[in-house]
Each structure stands twice: as structure tokens, then as C-alpha cells.
Amino acid sequence: MAMERWRPFGSALRWEPVGHLGEIQAEVNRLFDSFFGRPTSVSMSERMWMPVVDVQETENELIVSCDLPGVREKDVAVSITGDVLTVKGERKAQNEVGDENLHRLERWHGKFERHITLPVPVQADQVKATYRDGVLEIRLPKVEEIKPKEIKIDVV
């Protein structure tokens, strides 16, 4: 829970319903994580963040795009086990500032790990990953038998 300095004539007197949505979301995430048995005791120096992921399906492949701004390529690992794609890594803090000079801290850093359940079987040995401008793109070719096959109808 973040501490804020009380201001008698500032924004502290106004009710801001969306002002602390990030904190509410973090608490709900912590509640669900503890319910499903995932670790929740992470110190502020090792807090976890979750990069956003898009999964798109084309005729021949799945395309997974993951936003990783500020993360170096060497700090990212991609693996696939069965129907689960795992992207994990770490975004390091860019500057260390003492708490006395810190007014706002909104950019998350630290370790992350995403597990994406794939909707269709893929060829794990043909997966290709590229990293450009802070976006990780993973192309996963579908298994041949999953691809739609056109059947020609003979007219008799």
C-alpha cells in the first residue's frame, strides 16, 4: 500500500474514484494468486509485473505479441511445454533514487513470468521469436492436421 502525504487543501479533500485503481487491481490479483496457490509475498524490491500479451490466430500459425518496453533481449526467455507457452524475464530498474526524492513510482520493474495456454496444437520445433522496438513476437506454426483442408467435391 502506497503512502501519500496529506494535503489539507489539495486533492486529498476530493473523492477520486479512479485514483487508486492500480492498487485495487493489485490487491485483487494478490487475492486470486493466493487462492490458486501462487506465491504472493514479493518485496517491493522484487515486485512482479505482467507484460500485456496478444494472441492472434491465422490460417497457418498463432502469433503471440508481448509488450516488453525497457527489457533487453538477453533478459527474456521463451519456452514451450505441451500447450503452454512461457515468457519470462526481468526488467531492471533504470535509476536508483532515494525514497526522500521520490514523488511517484508507476513504472514497474523486476521479474515477470507469463504462461499462455495455446488454443491449438503447434509445431514446437518450428517456433520463431523476434524482438524489435520493445515488442516480442512469437510465431508458432500449427500442426499440419489442424490446418483446414479443402476437399474437392466430384460431380458425377
- Any alpha helices (H) in the chain, and if so which ranges? 21-35
Where in the chain is CATH 2.60.40.790? 48-94+109-149
pLDDT band of residue 125 (cuts 50, 70, 90) is very high
Please give the biggest Cα pair distance in the chain: 88
Instruction: Say what the pTM is.
Output: 0.62
- Please state which of the ranges 7-16, 29-38, 119-128, 132-141 shows the lowest mean pLDDT: 7-16
CA–CA separation, 118 and 81 (whole Å): 10
Four-way CATH pick for 48-94+109-149: 3.40.50.1110, 3.40.50.300, 3.30.70.260, 2.60.40.790 = 2.60.40.790
Region 6-13: what's the mean pLDDT?
Answer: 54
CA–CA separation, 66 and 9 (whole Å): 42
Q: Sheet containing 61-67: give its strands across.
A: 53-57, 61-67, 135-141, 128-132
55 has a pLDDT exceeding 90:
yes
Predicted pLDDT at 64: 96
Residues ≥6 apart with Cβ < 8 Å to 113: 48, 86, 87, 88
Region 95-116: what's the mean pLDDT?
Answer: 76
Predicted pLDDT at 29: 77
CA–CA separation, 23 and 46 (whole Å): 17
User: What's the residue count for the chain?
Assistant: 156
84 has a pLDDT exceeding 60:
yes
Please say whether the beta carbons of 63 and 137 come within 8 A.
Answer: yes
CA–CA separation, 24 and 92 (whole Å): 25
